[in-house]
Amino acid sequence: MNQTETTHKLETDSKLVREYQYGFVTDVDTDELPKGLNEDIIRAISQKKNEPVWMTEWRLKSFRRWQTMREPRWAKVTYPEIDYQDIRYYSAPKSASSGAAQADPELLKTFERLGIPLYERDRLAGVAVDAVFDSVSVATTHREMLAEKGIIFCSMSEAIQEHPELVRKYLGSVVPPSDNFFAALNSAVFSDGSFCYIPKGVRCPVELSTYFRINARDTGQFERTLIVAEEDAYVSYIEGCTAPMRDTNQLHAAVVELVALDRAQIKYSTVQNWYAGDEKGHGGIYNFVTKRGHCRGAHSKISWTQVEVGAAITWKYPSVILEGDHSVGEFYSVAFTNNRMQADTGTKMIHIGAHTKSTIISKGISAGESANSYRGLVQILPSAQHARNHTCCDSMLIGDKCSANTYPVIEAETSTAITEHEATTSKISEEQLFYVQSRGIDEESATSLIVNGFCKDVFKELPLEFSVEAIKLLELKLEHSVG
Amino acid sequence: MSEQTPFFEIRNLHASTEDKPILKGVDLTIQPGETHALMGPNGSGKSTLSNVIMGHPAYEVTAGEILFRGQNILELEPDERARLGLFLAFQYPVAIPGITVAKFLKSAADARFGQGAVKPSDFIKRMRENLAFLEMSEQFLNRFLNDGFSGGEKKRMEILQMLTLKPSLAVMDETDSGLDIDALRIVSKGVNRLVGPEFGLLVITHYERILNYIKPDHLHVLIDGRIAMSGGPELVKEVEKNGYDWIRERFGKEVLV
């Protein structure tokens, strides 16, 4: 089937497409490795990417470590056993190359349909984009302008070739391969992702953004992102993701590492809209992701803002290690689940330095028969004198078949620390709905308005244009959850 | 409007909540240009009536009809009733955290008059005029709706919404309770701005005080889910002087003045 036919068919299946407009498949020739995972596959991945020996060895070591580990099952999610030998670990469009000028027109069209133009002529103003299609990066925009400032923004594959000294220094320094089962798996098989390096004193003038697209069937996506902000540097980074609608589950196990040196600031925003499966829970992406930032320097700051509206299962805890004195960690999250979706998400704030400060604002909204859990750890070590944390996690239930859970843990090992924790769970209030409806606003729009208000504290943390997108996306997701 | 079709008519309305009957046969007709007051002791069903008129899901109508311009509105959702031109000023307005007054008013106006029917610049101008008229600061537009508002601010916000949505028939559910004299004057001034030949108003109240500011053409006394007595403005003084007991006594004999 060619792409036009595929697209047409999916668009006429109107209800589904209305619910998930990114569910189309692109027909491209691919360069694939056979399914399964062993040392030969890992060597083959490394070879395809023409990697230096140290990288191959790093992967193999990670793989050996992974073999000794067990899949974590403590999260409040249930899913059948994953057969890791039945997954394809490498699939790349044959025509992929790192420049929009040479990229396959089919790929450029795909990203255009996703709202991510890669052509130089109409690329997004104010946003530099790295586009990752299945296992590889297909294009990165705005490179020359960034290069003038000394900013490196390229695919991870390229970084390994062009900037091996930086990659060796920082890769795995925040999330070591042994960190957890999925991090070890990612370290062994990661195929691409983005690399950002902001040198000393540079304020990145545009938003950096990576758009992840899973296309191929039975393929896992294992991207690896590394962002380093040197002293006094600033960067705002945005991540977006979609996948076709398929009736089988696909695994996405990414690792994101952020490093902030003295007074550096990294703002990382995610709008996650992976295919979530159908109403009965068939298909959808397993989103098992390890994201961690390290405030290494004094007065550094790392903010995670996530809007999670997709994926069949989400297992994700963007965290911050607050090592530098006076460093600041923030986590702002909206997690929306519907139908049979399951989300177990939250954060960890590890306070090591003195006067470190963290803020956690989590808004969970469950509809349909979904399960939505917040899981958080605030750990204040004895060295973290005068550390402060403020946590607020609120859950809202729409309908009576869904559930919300909160698992907050606070461990304070110094008496000078101040921690505050607020949590609420509420059913979307009949009184609020009646009030809003009595002003002429229909039930669906009223729900959407109330939910938007509920998420306000998180949306306002997103870069403006993304905030607008996120609000629209949530409205779209809510459309079929009322009634 | 033809003679045969009353503007707003409640016929033999029975309603209950949690299987408990509250309204036991209410009849009430309001014509355009008329202001009606509804008084009654606590628990007589005043707030239930206002909620049922607007379509609160917690109340079940077990018999009767509510006709608005001849159309039975009982099957309609609250938002459909609002778009027809009904308005309820709440006794206890709820907070909508995270949604600014400006955003809420714009959403409501778009729903009532159609998306884009009001130009944003005109809309803001009108909001400012209305705010000034109600002696409210423009900062209200950026506050979250009713979130942390004082009692008086909430009631003024109800009137602001009423001025924005220009209903044809408004019900005010104890808008005066908890207001000091200045706030009462301002709220009444706002309501009186809408009073005119095309506008019907039902003022539900506990106290006669507000009726010094909003002059009713008719007064009804609700006792135990039924209208026990109806009369002209002169009845207000009588209720003020003698309370409800004498009506209750005579109500046993089904007396109507």
Chain A touched by B78 (CB under 8 Å): yes
Question: What is the rounded CA–CA span in Å between residue A419 and residue A411?
Answer: 10
Given the DSSP bridges, would you call strands A371-380 and A403-412 parallel, antiparallel or unpaired? parallel
Domain of A66, in residue numbers: 21-478
- Average pLDDT, integer, range B43-72: 96
> Do B111 and A449 make contact, defined as CB atoms within 8 angstroms?
no
Number of domains in chain B: 1
What pLDDT is attached to residue A143? 77
> Do B54 and A438 make contact, defined as CB atoms within 8 angstroms?
yes
What pLDDT is attached to residue A11? 35
Residue in A427, A433, A435, A467 to test binding to B, most B beta-carbons within 10 Å: A435
CA distance readout (Å), A15 to A251, A279, A308, A443: 25, 12, 22, 20
Residue A444 forms part of a structural domain: yes
What pLDDT is attached to residue A191? 84
> Do A429 and B104 make contact, defined as CB atoms within 8 angstroms?
no
> Do B98 and A456 make contact, defined as CB atoms within 8 angstroms?
yes
Tell me the sheet residues that pair with B191: none
> Do A439 and B83 make contact, defined as CB atoms within 8 angstroms?
no
A400 in Cβ contact with A366 (< 8 Å): no
Chain A touched by B166 (CB under 8 Å): no
The pLDDT > 70 percentage for chain A reads 84
B30 in Cβ contact with B200 (< 8 Å): yes
Chain B touched by A71 (CB under 8 Å): no
Residue B100 forms part of a structural domain: yes
The pLDDT > 90 percentage for chain A reads 59
Chain A hits for B161, CB-CB cut-off 8 Å, are 439
What pLDDT is attached to residue A82? 92
Residue in B86, B107, B118, B157 to test binding to A, most A beta-carbons within 10 Å: B107
Give the N- to C-terminal CA distance of chain A in Å, as an integer.
Answer: 38
- Phi-psi group of B213: left, alpha or beta (phi > 0 → left; psi -120 to 50 → alpha; rest → beta): alpha
What pLDDT is attached to residue A117? 62
What pLDDT is attached to residue A464? 80
Q: Which two tokens stand for residue A392?
A: 């607020």
Return the SS3 of B144.
strand
Length of chain A counted residue by residue: 483
Residue A164 forms part of a structural domain: yes
Query: Which band of pLDDT confidence, cut at 50, 70 and 90, is reported for residue A107?
Result: low
Residues 6+ apart with CB under 8 A from A186: A222, A224, A253, A254, A255, A290
Query: How does DSSP classify residue B61?
Result: E
Q: Residue A437: which of B79, B87, B97 has the nearest Cβ?
A: B79
Instruction: Look at A103-117, A230-244, B43-57 and tell me which has the smallest mean pLDDT.
Output: A103-117
Residue in B51, B90, B92, B94 to test binding to A, most A beta-carbons within 10 Å: B94
Q: How confident is the model over B60-86, as pLDDT tens digits?
A: 999 999 999 999 999 999 999 999 999
Number of domains in chain A: 1
> Do A438 and B83 make contact, defined as CB atoms within 8 angstroms?
no
Instruction: Look at A71-80, A98-107, A439-448, B103-112 and tell me which has the smallest mean pLDDT.
Output: A98-107
The answer to whether residue B203 scores a pLDDT higher than 90 is yes
Domain of B216, CATH number, reads 3.40.50.300
The answer to whether residue A296 scores a pLDDT higher than 50 is yes
Residue B91 forms part of a structural domain: yes
Compute the mean pLDDT over every residue in chain A, rounded to the nearest whole number: 86
Query: Which band of pLDDT confidence, cut at 50, 70 and 90, is reported for residue A476?
Result: confident
HEC string for A286-355 = EEEEEEEEEECCCCCEEEEEEEECCCCEEEECCEEEECCCCCEEEEEEEEEECCCCEEEEEEEEEECCCC
Q: How far is residue B47 CA from its own chain's centroid? A: 10
Residue B142 forms part of a structural domain: yes
Q: Which of A212, A39, A204, A201 is nearest to A133 (CA)?
A: A212
Chain A hits for B112, CB-CB cut-off 8 Å, are 439-440
The answer to whether residue B143 scores a pLDDT higher than 90 is yes
Q: Residue B78: which of A438, A445, A457 has the nearest Cβ?
A: A438
Query: Which band of pLDDT confidence, cut at 50, 70 and 90, is reported for residue B101?
Result: very high
Query: Which band of pLDDT confidence, cut at 50, 70 and 90, is reported for residue A116?
Result: low
Q: How confident is the model over A354-406, as pLDDT tens digits?
A: 999 999 999 999 999 999 999 999 999 999 999 999 999 999 999 889 999 99
Query: Which tops the pLDDT comparison, A135 or B165?
Result: B165
Query: Which tops the pLDDT comparison, A29 or B109?
Result: B109
Give the helix, strand, coil percentages of chain A, each rounded to 5: 25, 35, 40
Residue B1 forms part of a structural domain: no
Q: How confident is the model over A210-261, as pLDDT tens digits?
A: 877 777 767 788 989 999 999 999 999 988 866 666 677 889 999 999 999 9
Return the SS3 of A387.
coil
Residue B39 forms part of a structural domain: yes
Question: What is the rounded CA–CA span in Å between residue A284 and residue A248?
Answer: 7
Given the DSSP bridges, would you call strands B8-17 and B20-30 parallel, antiparallel or unpaired? antiparallel
HEC string for A120-163 = CCCCCCCEEEEEEECCEEEEECCHHHHHHCCCEEEEHHHHHHHC
Q: How far is B78 from chain A (nearest CA, A)?
A: 5
Residue B256 forms part of a structural domain: no
Chain B touched by A483 (CB under 8 Å): no
Instruction: Look at A227-241, A269-283, B151-165 and tell me which has the smallest mean pLDDT.
Output: A269-283
Residue B18 forms part of a structural domain: yes
> Do B99 and A446 make contact, defined as CB atoms within 8 angstroms?
no
Beta strands in A170-230 (DSSP E): 194-198, 207-213, 224-229
Which runs of consecutive H residues, i.e. helices, occur in chain B?
46-54, 78-84, 101-113, 120-133, 151-165, 181-194, 234-242, 245-251
Other CB atoms within 10 Å distance of the CB of residue B253: 6
Domain of B177, in residue numbers: 8-251
Chain A touched by B115 (CB under 8 Å): no
- Average pLDDT, integer, range B90-108: 95
The pLDDT > 70 percentage for chain B reads 96
Q: Residue A435: which of B77, B94, B144 has the nearest Cβ?
A: B94
- Average pLDDT, integer, range A41-52: 94
What pLDDT is attached to residue A235? 96
Question: What is the rounded CA–CA span in Å between residue A218 and residue A241?
Answer: 17
Chain A touched by B112 (CB under 8 Å): yes
Question: What is the rounded CA–CA span in Å between residue A303 and residue A333?
Answer: 11
Residues 6+ apart with CB under 8 A from A74: none
Q: How confident is the model over A329-362, as pLDDT tens digits?
A: 999 999 999 999 999 999 999 999 999 999 999 9
Q: How far is A390 from chain B (nearest CA, A)?
A: 19
CA distance readout (Å), A83 to A19, A45, A249: 29, 20, 11
Q: How confident is the model over A153-172, as pLDDT tens digits?
A: 988 999 999 999 999 999 99
Q: How far is residue A174 CA from its own chain's centroid? A: 16
The answer to whether residue A100 scores a pLDDT higher than 90 is no
Tell me the sheet residues that pair with A286: A251, A313
Residue A100 forms part of a structural domain: yes
What pLDDT is attached to residue B48? 96
Residue B257 forms part of a structural domain: no
- Angle at alpha carbon of residue A207, lines to A204 and A212, rounded to 5°: 130
Residues 6+ apart with CB under 8 A from A270: A238, A239, A240, A241, A304, A305, A306, A307, A308
Residue A163 forms part of a structural domain: yes
The answer to whether residue A315 scores a pLDDT higher than 70 is yes
Number of inter-chain CB pairs under 8 A, A vs B: 79
What pLDDT is attached to residue A169? 97
A183 in Cβ contact with A172 (< 8 Å): no
